[in-house]
């Protein structure tokens, strides 16, 4: 592992030799911040909201969440959204990305009941943002599924496609006059692979090696259906854009051997191509490396069909091209290699991938979670990879951020944003990648799923023991504000690249 570090530094340095870096943001580049309903809203059982799969998990399995924390109140954004808007305004953001809680507006998951308090809440939030010149960017689904739909199997039940279409239609009809940027699903990878963990919702459908493939299959159909619905019934009148938000780590091959180069690419195809290839590639459908490997393993396991479901040509065509932009969540980088000896483990996606070895470099700094390492060059590389594989697609970075323990003098968060954004600018100016904007994760500290409140990503500090949950600006929010105002990177925080 250590042996790779100097090589990586050299590679990083070599990339930036030549003309001095352009540290100014292009005209029209959008700055934003992100959040998600379940992580900030609270008010889980008031004002007509229905139960979600995550409510069910944290109440039935408190031991799953760090310090047995709950999101019952979280940052109380249901009551304090105006303070969130004020914070976004204070930094000078062009947009605020939030998600709508499906069970808050459709408590039973279907149209039999529409909760007016929930509808009003998002109307108020959207109107408050627009009144402050902040564009709303809306995620339709950020992991919190109505429990009534979870009871039917959730994403594993193909019926989810129709339920999602009804939900999407309600959202376009209700908010589409003012919301012009939509993403259908946030992080399909985490949602689907979460199904293989006993401590991520729904927790009781653990089914590695087929559950995640089935869930993704239905999710991709639901996404495309919501996209096509917009095309048919709303686009002409509302003129907005619909995309999807995909998470992607960068993968560095551990060595330049053919095997490791292939390992890194295979890792990206399984963890990004799995859902990006069907939507964004010219050919559509799952990546061939995935189709081949899962089919081969399934056969060896005595199965008649591949555990990776088949779309058939009609769905391939329907899903292919169902995007107006690519939403990218990026945090960190991993080092990939082929295992020294081929191993076969239990049926799982990891086994289908070839039980690749993933490591990180000890020299890469980390904050409150050892796996969230600071690796700015990974940002430039993943942007380039996405752009090259998917035909120069417009990319909106929908999440990117640093977690620590919540200190106000958060110098490392500032350094993270400045240098990751420098890498974004390199991708734009040197690699010709079309990046339309960047959203910081997150505007305020929030409930980080199974990590509870132990990881803080906010530009604003929230004291979760204070019943008022005041939002307190961290130092990073002030540097961010001046960066947006000046539309260029503050030089004093830029890492010096050795030449």
Ligand X SMILES: *[C@@H]1O[C@H](CO)[C@@H](O)[C@H](O)[C@H]1NC(C)=O
Nearer to ligand X (CB atom), residue 45 or residue 67: 45
Question: Residue 407 carries which DSSP code?
Answer: -
Between 157 and 358, whose beta carbon lies closer to ligand X? 157
Residue window 408-447: x/- pattern of binding to ligand X, with contact defined by CB under 6 A: -x-x------------------------------------
Task: Give pairs for 211-214: CB < 8 Å, separation 24+.
Answer: 211/156, 212/349, 213/294, 213/307, 213/308, 213/309, 213/349, 214/155, 214/156, 214/309
Cα distance between residue 380 and residue 422, in whole Å:
9
Helix (H, G, I), strand (E, B) or coil at 191: helix
- Count of residues near ligand X by CB under 6 A: 19
16 binds ligand X (CB under 6 A): no
| 148 belongs to the binding site for ligand X (CB under 6 A) | yes
Kindly indicate which of the ranges 18-26, 343-351, 378-386, 448-456 contains the residues binding ligand X, using the contact rule CB under 6 A. Answer: 18-26
Of 60 and 305, nearer to ligand X (C-beta) is 60
Q: Please, what is the minimum distance in Å from the beta carbon of residue 410 to ligand X?
A: 7
DSSP of 228-277, one letter per residue? HHHHHHTHHHH--EEEEEEE--EEEESSSSHHHHHHHHHHHIIIIIHHHH
Our finding on whether 190 is near ligand X (CB under 6 A) is: no
Q: Is residue 123 at the binding interface for ligand X, with CB under 6 A as the rule?
A: no
The active-site residue out of 187, 200, 212, 338 is 187
Q: Is 399 marked active-site? A: yes
Q: CB of 238 within 8 A of CB of 176?
A: yes
Residue 201 Cβ vs ligand X, minimum distance, rounded to whole Å? 17
- Considering only residues 72 through 91, tell me which ones interact with ligand X, judged by CB under 6 A: 72
- Residue 314 is a catalytic residue: no
Residue 109 or 278 with smaller CB distance to ligand X: 109
The verdict on 207 binding ligand X (CB under 6 A) reads no
Measured CA to CA, the distance from residue 452 to residue 71 in angstroms comes to 8
Task: Say whether residue 26 binds ligand X (CB under 6 A).
Answer: yes
Q: Are 475 and 408 in contact (CB under 8 A)?
A: yes
- How far is it, in rounded angstroms, from Cα 188 to Cα 183? 12
CB 54 within 8 A of CB 37: no
Number of C-beta neighbours around residue 20 at 10 A = 6
Kindly indicate which of the ranges 82-90, 175-183, 293-301, 405-413 contains the residues binding ligand X, using the contact rule CB under 6 A. Answer: 405-413
| Complex with ligand X: residue 51 or 260, whichever CB lies closer | 51
Closest CB to ligand X among 79 and 235?
A: 79
Hey, which residues does 462 pair with through a beta bridge? Answer: 471
Q: Considering only the stretches 174-182, 394-402, 404-412, 430-438, report the one whose residues sit in contact with ligand X under the rule CB under 6 A.
A: 404-412
CA distance 26 to 434: 11
Segment near ligand X (CB under 6 A), from 145-153, 184-192, 205-213, 460-468? 145-153
Q: Is 110 in the site for ligand X (CB under 6 A)?
A: yes
Of 335 and 425, CB closest to ligand X: 425
Site for ligand X, residues 449 to 488, rule: CB under 6 A: 482, 486, 488
Contact assessment for residue 351 and residue 387, using Cβ atoms and an 8 Å cutoff = no
Q: What is the DSSP string of 338-386?
A: --SS----SSSHHHHHT--EEE--TTS-BSSSTTSB--HHHHHHHHHHH
**Contact map string, positions 365 to 384, toward ligand X, x by CB under 6 A:** --------------------
Residue 355, both tokens: 């039980």
Map the footprint of ligand X across residues 43-62, applying CB under 6 A.
45
Q: Which residue among 41, 51, 399, 448 is the active-site one?
A: 399
For ligand X, the binding residues (CB under 6 A) are 22, 24, 26, 45, 72, 108-110, 112, 148-149, 152, 407, 409, 411, 482, 486, 488, 490
Residues noted as catalytic: 187, 399
């Amino acid at each position: 592992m250590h042996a790779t570090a100097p090589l990586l530094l050299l590679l990083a340095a070599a990339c930036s030799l030549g003309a001095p870096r352009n540290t100014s943001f292009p005209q029209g580049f959008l700055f934003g911040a992100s959040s998600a309903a379940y992580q900030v809203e609270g008010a889980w059982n008031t004002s007509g909201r229905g139960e979600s799969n995550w409510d069910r998990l944290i109440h039935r399995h408190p031991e799953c969440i760090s310090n047995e924390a709950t999101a019952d109140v979280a940052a109380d954004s249901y009551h304090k959204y105006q303070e969130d808007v004020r914070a976004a305004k204070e930094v000078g953001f062009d947009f605020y990305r939030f998600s709508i809680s499906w069970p808050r507006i459709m408590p039973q998951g279907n149209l039999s009941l529409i909760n007016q308090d929930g509808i009003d809440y998002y109307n108020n939030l959207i109107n408050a943002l627009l009144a402050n010149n902040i564009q709303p960017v809306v995620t339709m689904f950020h992991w919190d599924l109505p429990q009534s739909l979870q009871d039917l199997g959730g994403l594993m039940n193909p019926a989810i496609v129709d339920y999602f279409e009804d939900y999407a239609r309600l959202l376009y009809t209700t908010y589409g006059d003012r919301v012009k940027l939509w993403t259908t699903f946030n992080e399909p990878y985490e949602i689907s692979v979460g199904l293989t963990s006993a401590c991520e919702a729904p927790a009781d459908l653990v089914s590695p090696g087929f559950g995640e493939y089935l869930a993704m299959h239905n999710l991709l159909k639901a996404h495309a259906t919501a996209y096509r619905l917009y095309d048919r019934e709303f686009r002409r009148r509302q003129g907005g854009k619909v995309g999807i938000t995909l998470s992607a780590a960068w993968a560095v091959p551990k060595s330049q051997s053919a095997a490791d180069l292939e390992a890194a690419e295979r890792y990206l195809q399984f963890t990004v191509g799995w859902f990006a290839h069907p939507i964004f590639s010219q050919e559509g459908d799952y990546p061939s490396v995935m189709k081949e490997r899962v089919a081969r393993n399934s056969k060896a396991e005595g199965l008649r069909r591949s555990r990776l479901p088949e779309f058939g040509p009609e769905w391939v065509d329907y899903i292919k091209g169902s995007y107006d932009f690519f939403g990218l969540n990026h945090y960190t980088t991993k080092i990939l290699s082929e295992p020294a000896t081929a191993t076969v483990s239990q049926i799982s996606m990891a086994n289908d991938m070839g039980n690749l070895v993933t490591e990180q470099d000890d020299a890469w700094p980390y904050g409150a979670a050892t796996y969230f390492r600071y690796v700015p060059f990974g940002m430039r590389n993943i942007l380039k990879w996405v752009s090259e594989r998917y035909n120069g697609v417009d990319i909106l970075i929908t999440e990117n951020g640093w977690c620590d323990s919540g200190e106000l003098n958060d110098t490392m968060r500032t350094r993270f944003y400045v240098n990751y954004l420098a890498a974004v600018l390199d991708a734009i100016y040197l690699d010709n990648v079309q990046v339309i904007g960047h959203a910081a994760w997150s505007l305020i500290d929030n409930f980080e799923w199974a990590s509870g409140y132990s990881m803080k990503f906010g530009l604003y500090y929230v004291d979760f023991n204070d019943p008022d949950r005041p939002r307190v600006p961290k130092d990073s929010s002030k540097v961010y504000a001046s960066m947006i105002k000046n539309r260029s990177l503050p030089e004093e925080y830029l890492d010096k690249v050795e030449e």
